[in-house]
Amino acid sequence: MAAGRILIVEDRDSLRRMLERALGQEGYDVEAAADGRSGIRLLAERPFDFVLTDLKLPDVSGIEVLAASRAAQPRVPVVVLTGYGTVGTAVEAMKLGAYDFLEKPLEIDDLARLIERAIGDRGAEAVFRVPGAPPIVGAHPRLRAAIRMLQRVGPTESTVLLTGESGTGKELFARAIHALSPRAPRPCVALNCAAIPETLIENELFGHEKGAFTGADRRQPGRFEQAEGGTLFLDEIGELPLAVQGKVLRALEERTFERVGGGRTLRADVRLVAATNRDLAAMVEEGEFRADLFFRLNVFPIELPPLRERASDVPLLARHLLLEIARRHHVEPPPRLEDAAAELLAAQPWPGNVRELANVLERAVILAEGPAIRAADLRPLLRPLAGSGERERVRQALIEAAGDKRRAAEILGMSYRALLRKVKEHDLEGVPRYRE
């Protein structure tokens, strides 16, 4: 028999009683509430292993029950029960930390399997692995909610828009989405739109014919052709020039394009996964991004949380990264991360997120003189990134890099163009080119 205490928040008497009876027969200890406030009160009074709440309740919404559960018992999985036409709201609930959602009419067998999996996941290893993709490390509910959305959309053909700050792992998610899809045997091709000069981005995407421009001595396929039958990952898509955005939209909607300097129309059978650290909706309002392309990209958005909002994951993530870094640099045995050092890392703001953490740990591995990395070893590496606010962190990174903006961007774990925006925003163009 299964074991665990379940809370059901459902206002319809017949459905609530049926769920109580069916789950009780499965061996669960079931408590039920007929409205949201009663459910919230129960959450404050006693522990649960699983919460099932209807989205539409007579007093407060299921979203408020979810929020109360996340506040009172953050590790307890919450599943939202939805009716017809409310699936969009349920997806929003997953962004807020819901474990999953189920649509009415409800199949008890589906619910029982979901409960068993959800309760089991609480003690599962905090590493998500898909064959053919790098692992995603972390147990924080917001990250796990994003992973569950990844699992749902991966096997489909939907376009996915990954949002979140630079360095949060958007490419890891893109690779996992591809690995879960029927397109997995075909290529997964990536392009960082911020890393290509505006004059060359169209050529990178669509390729060129021989003689298209000076130096084009042969035909060159672009990323759309290279990804044929597979997945195209466009990172930092907010950096696409407006003139190229229309051609990308056409390639997505009509599945056709032409190479630069060519007149022959080619087919483009690709699934697009896009990523951005910018607010595309705001860019649309400001005329910097095409509304029609934004709506075409925003079919299934997944938001990745910044590292500072899942600080509990930092020690586990740091130890995982240390193993990878040590392997890459042929360091045997890999250095051990002392508990005090892990606590120091967890307390950092990490404006560059996982990428910044990895950069600090790589320097620590190279500089390590003993079998363990101590807090004292890390403090000098963290000092350039400390300070009161974002402006000071950017300024110190520029000093650390002796004015080299590309190196400063690496230190901060952000893209070069993102750093240029920060330099302009904080009036740091004249920062000293020496180490203070």
Max CA separation in the chain (angstroms):
76
Count of domains in the chain? 3
381 and 266 in a single domain? The answer is no
Same domain, 154 and 232: yes
According to the model, what pLDDT value does residue 408 have? 82
Indicate which CATH number applies to the domain containing 106: 3.40.50.2300
Average pLDDT value for residue range 57-74: 90
Same domain flag for 311 and 299: no
Among residues 121, 154, 171, the one where a domain terminates is 121
Mean pLDDT computed over every residue of the chain:
88
Spatial separation of the C-alpha atoms in residues 176 and 13, rounded to whole Å = 42
For residue 137, is it within any domain?
no
Integer Cα distance of 2 and 70 in angstroms: 24
- Model confidence at 421: pLDDT above 60: yes
138 in a domain, yes or no?
Answer: no
**157 and 116, same structural domain?**
no
56/106 same-domain check: yes
Q: Which contiguous run of DSSP H or E holds residue 178?
A: helix 170-180
For residue range 143-190, what is the model confidence (pLDDT) as tens digits? Answer: 988 998 999 999 999 999 999 999 999 999 999 999 999 999 999 999
User: Does residue 155 lie in a domain region?
Assistant: yes
Examine the domain organization and report whether 386 and 284 are in the same domain.
Answer: no
pLDDT for 431: 59
Domain boundary among 303, 328, 352: 303
Question: Would 320 be classed as within a structural domain?
Answer: yes
Do 165 and 207 fall into the same domain? yes
Closest CA to 234 of 290, 289, 160, 292: 160
**pLDDT band at 417; cut points 50, 70, 90:** confident
The CATH number of whichever domain residue 230 belongs to comes to: 3.40.50.300
256 and 240 belong to one structural domain? yes
Query: Between residues 262 and 168, which one has the greater pLDDT?
Result: 168
Please indicate, yes or no, whether residues 320 and 295 belong to a single structural domain of this protein.
no
pTM score: 0.70
- Residue 435, pLDDT > 60, answer no
pLDDT digits (tens, 9 = 90+) for 105-153: 888 888 998 898 888 766 555 788 899 999 999 988 789 889 989 999 9
Residues 117 and 232 in one domain: no
- List the domain range (segments joined by +) for residue 347: 307-425
Q: Quick one: 154 and 278 in the same domain?
A: yes
Least confident of 1-10, 16-25, 79-88, 385-394: 385-394
Give the end of a domain, one of 303, 333, 364: 303
Shared domain for 208 and 227, answered yes or no, is yes
Joined together, the tokens standing for residue 191 give 């392009």
Q: State how far the Cα of 58 lies from the Cα of 202, in Å rounded to an integer.
A: 53
